[in-house]
Amino acid sequence: MVKGKDALRAYFKKGLEAYPNLKFDLLDMMWGLSSVVLYYVNQKGTKTGEFMEIDSNGKIVRVVANYNG
């Protein structure tokens, strides 16, 4: 679980150190009443779907990622 800006910054820093060529090519974006799903291809060429739940203040409160491969 990642909470707060400092924790999020550290999370992404670690990811970029592990994958310096990290990139995402957006394939589709789907909106719901209180959620959004991003569907993309990453630097390895595999597809990912990320479900993001949004609270009444417009903040993301939960993310669930699903990976292909």
pLDDT of amino acid 51: 98
Please give the Cα distance from 49 to 52 (Å, whole number). Answer: 10
What is the value of pTM for the model shown? 0.77
Consecutive 10-residue runs of the chain (69 residues): their mean pLDDT? 89 92 95 97 94 96 91
Residue 61 token pair: 């409160």
